[in-house]
Each structure stands twice: as C-alpha cells, then as structure tokens.
Amino acid sequence: MRNFLSSRIAVLKIVAFVIGIMMMIFTMGDAIKIWKKDFGKIYEKGRTDYAQDELITGKIEYVIGTVATLESTQTVCGIPVKKQLTPYYLCLITNDENNGEDNYYVLVHATNKDTIKTMDSLVIHALEHAGEKVTSSTEHVALELKAKPIPDDVMDYTMKYLQSGGTSEREIKELLADYMLEEQDFSTARFMPLFGFIIAAIPLLMFIVSRKRARAYKNSRTHYVNQGPANNFSAPPSNAGGEPMRRYSAQAYETHTYPRGYNADNSQQEPSAEMDSIDTSNLKL
C-alpha cells in the first residue's frame, strides 16, 4: 500500500511539472504582448484586418443579438458540479471616418458574467426594425479580446440567424469578419507564465528536498570504523614476558589424560595379606 501511494504521488508530481511547463510555453507569447501593450484597437480594423491569436481591445456599442450559446460543465473527479452558459453575440462595428472602412459584423464570445449582463442590455434587434437608425440602449462596454477562428457550429447558427432577416449568404460573407473575438482577462493572462513556473517548481523542489532527506537519513545510519589489520584468531596469544604460556598445567593435563589419574600404573598395589585374616566361618560356602 505504501509503495502504491508513493507511485501515485510520483505520477502527480510529474503531471504537475508537465502542466506547469506547458502553461509557460503556451502563455508566454500573450504575456509578453500584454506587458508591451502590443495589441490592436477594434475600431481601427476592418472586416479582414484581424489575425489569428491577435490581442484586441476596444468598445462594443451595438449588439444585434445572440446567435449561439456555449454550455460548459465544470467537473470534480468526473462529477459535474457547475454548468456555465456563455453566449456568442453578433455585434455591429460602425464605420470609422478615419480609416474609411465600411460597417461590418463581428462575433463576440463573452465569458464574464458581468460582461454578459452588459451585452444583454445592448441588444437592439436591428433586424426587426429594418430601415431605422441603429442606436444603443445603454453605454458601451470596454472589452479585452483575442481573435480566434469561428467554430463551424457557431458559423452555421450565425448564417441561419442572418438569413432569417432576409440577408443572403453572399451578403453575409461580405459583412461578417473573418475571425471571431473571444473575451480575455489581460490582468490575469500577463501572470500566467509565472503561475506555470510555480506549478512546475513545486514538484521539482519537493523532489530535491526528498533526495536530500533520503541522503541525510542514509548518512545518519552509516558508521565508518578504522580498518586495522585483521586478527588471526588461530594464532596462540603472545606473551610479553617471554615465559611459555600454557592453558593447563602439565600435572593437570596428565591427570585428566591417563586412565585412573597421574602415575596410575605406579599406584596399583597387590592385595594386602591382611585379607586372609578375615573370619569366614560363619559364611555358608
């Protein structure tokens, strides 16, 4: 179980490191542009002047209506916990006398709830009042945007929306901008590479600390001793005094070696003659 948890934690560290690196790579370009304030102005551009992934700022004054709505679901461990609806608005960009461009339509994907509320208040149903002067009902809304390709489904809904008002397909292509504009938060986007760096640095620091702790633990359990000459336990012990050393005395050795003790042969005697004087008359032989 412990090895299983350790392997899962290691996998999570690797995933977090990879996510952090990817965040740094894919957000660095936008962050640099934002810090340098390298973005275009919406009212300085014509219908064909937008470039993919270009950062745009500007004011939206005229909202024709909502052509599509994106439903996104937020999940936690695979369980849906929150749904969010973000509309695609068809907006009218009026002619700027300075650049000499004609009016055109552009799709704006609003993602912030406050922006959605403001954009809803700007809807003016111009198609239902053909020939009338286009006016906005409230003040304009300032947006931070990014140019992106129009999704196929959204393009289909936009075509149906405009065709329902009597606009032909050819006229729609001549009036609709080549790219749509998606709402961004520049104040957050400028720090996204830093967030990615932090996400990647945390597992890296944890790995370095764990390696140092493992090395310190290993060193604390390792003891080094002086490697002197090996003792020869088969050699007899040395005698500093020069006297021969014996484990047993010679007498004790002989006593425990010869049968019946030391000088056992010399100690054997003939039976005493006094044995003959024993009275055996009472014995019944």
Report pLDDT digits (tens) over 195-242.
888 988 888 888 888 777 777 766 666 555 555 555 555 555 555 555
- Whether 218 is covered by a domain: the verdict is no
Helix (H), strand (E), coil (C) string for 74-128: EEECCEEEEEEEEEEEEEEECCCCCCCCCCEEEEEECCCHHHHHHHHHCECCHHH
- Whether 198 is covered by a domain: the verdict is no
- Whether 25 is covered by a domain: the verdict is no
Counting the structural domains of the chain, the total is 1
- Whether 154 is covered by a domain: the verdict is yes
Identify the residue whose tokens are 């938060």.
185
- Whether 169 is covered by a domain: the verdict is yes
User: Could you list the residue range(s) of the whole structural domain that residue 144 is in?
Assistant: 38-186
Residue-level pLDDT at 217: 67
Q: Which pLDDT tens digit goes with each residue over 85-94?
A: 999 999 988 8
- Whether 141 is covered by a domain: the verdict is yes
Cβ contacts of 5 within 8 Å, gap of 6 or more:
none
Give the predicted TM-score (pTM) of the model: 0.63
- Whether 145 is covered by a domain: the verdict is yes
Residue-level pLDDT at 107: 95
